[in-house]
Every structure is written in structure tokens, then in C-alpha cells.
Amino acid sequence: MKEPKFYTRNVLIKLFPKYFKGKLIDVGAGRAKYRELLKPHIKEYVAIDNLSSDYQYKSEQDKKRVNHVGDASSLPFDSNEFDSALCTELIEHVEDPLEVVREVYRVLKPGAYFILASGWLSPFHEEPKDYWRFSEDGYKILGSKAGFDFIETKPQGGMFTSLVYIIARNIELRGNRWAKRGLRKVDFLKRMIELIMEKLDDLIPTPDSVGHVVIFRKP
């Protein structure tokens, strides 16, 4: 069965060829899960993370996927060093999102694109802290204050998709081991429901979504 189109991975697959090239920095890369997807489109992949997430880093092997250990608000790179930048599921976990976006702006070359993704209707999830949620208007202000031009936003699903996501994600985060095991056993059914919800989202469009994938450009 095909995956729902609102999954972050599926949104990014369509965007990588259009916006990414050259040397790329993945800010808050976690286990660098997009490394292989990016390889056909870029020349060099650089993953940086502060290794603070117990969810992401369950073993020493996981930590080895990161090229640099550092803080997203003070990137250890030269200005105008990178041709592309990616930051997914990080901005909600930092104390000062604008500081991070300004740092990404600093290390990018003029004309480079920056893809930023985060949740909107997303359950509270500490990694190790969970501070922020941004609407499309919020992203536009964030990017503008950092100096970026806003290009476009790709919402991830809609109201109906979000309802299913919130229930399933809460079970993943807070359910006991029997609830989590049960969710894994009905993964096929869950995916089928998600695909149905996507069809309903098309019938009743709303500004609410699971999250947003936003594209900026450094002038």
C-alpha cells in the first residue's frame, strides 16, 4: 500500500530535486535519515546535531551518523559556506527559533534555498523540550526577520489527517507497551485510514495541517 502524501519524507522527495544542490547542511539532523534521499541531488552532505534527544540517539552507533556535534544557534561553519540547507522537526525544540534561522542564513551562499519543516497540530513531545508551533504566517515572519525571501509552503494534510495523526502519535508517545504493540499490529489499517482522511481533506480544505514544509531563499 502506498504511503500517505502528508508524510514529511514524501513531501521532501518532491522538493529535493527542485531546490537542493552542492554542499548541504542538515541542521538538527537526528539520525541523518534523509542522507540517502539527498545523495542524488547534492555533492556533499553535512549533518549537525547537539545529540540531546534520547529518542533519536538510542545507541552510540546512532550518534556516529552525525558529522558535527554542535548547537544550531551557533553553527561551527564559515559564512556563505553551503549551497543548500535542511532543518526538519527541530525548530519547535529550540529556545530561540529566530536565532537558529539567522544562523542558517549566515552559513548559506546567496541564492541558496532553505527547507524548514515542523509540526502544527502535533502532540507535545519533549526532545528534550517542546516550545513552539508556527502557522504559515509565523514562518513568513521568522524567515523575513532572518533576511530570507519566502518561496512557498507545503501543508502536510488537513483537518481529518491531523485527527488521526494526533491519536496515533499520542499512543506512540504515551501508550503502554500493549497499546504501542497494538498500534504496530494494525499499521496497515492505520495507513488505510490515513489515505481515506487525505481524500476528505481535499473535500474540506482548512488552514490546519499536521505540519508545514516551508521553502526560503537567501537573496
Closest CA to 97 of 82, 55, 105, 112: 105
pLDDT of residue 63: 65
Q: What is the pLDDT of residue 55?
A: 66
Residue 37 has pLDDT above 90, yes or no: yes
* pTM, 2 dp: 0.93
Please report which confidence band the pLDDT of residue 16 belongs to, taking 50, 70 and 90 as the band edges: very high
d(CA 44, CA 66): 14
pLDDT (0 to 100) of residue 198: 93
Does the bond joining 123 to the residue before it have cis omega, within 30 degrees of 0? no
Q: What is the pLDDT of residue 176?
A: 86
**The pairing of beta strand 23-27 with beta strand 82-88:** parallel
How much is the average pLDDT of 10-24?
97
Per-residue model confidence (pLDDT) at position 128: 85
Give one DSSP letter per residue of 153-206, joined into a string: EEEE--HHHHHHHHHHHHHHHH--HHHHHHHHHTHHHHHHHHHHHHHHHHHS--
Q: How confident is the model at residue 163 (pLDDT cuts 50, 70, 90)?
A: very high
Residue 102 pLDDT greater than 80, yes or no:
yes
Query: What are 48's three cell numbers?
Result: 549537525
Domains of the chain: 8-158+207-217 (3.40.50.150)
Whether the pLDDT of residue 191 is over 70: the answer is yes
Residue 179: per-residue pLDDT = 79
The stretch 40-50 carries a mean pLDDT of 96
Q: Is 161 exposed, middle or buried (0-12, 13-18, 19+ CB in 10 A)?
A: buried
pLDDT at 99: 98
DSSP state for residue 22 in the 8-state scheme: S
Assigned C-alpha cell, 144: 523575513
Do the Cβ atoms of 84 and 105 come closer than 8 Å? Answer: no
Residues 8-18 have a mean pLDDT of 96
Which position has the higher pLDDT, 60 or 88? 88
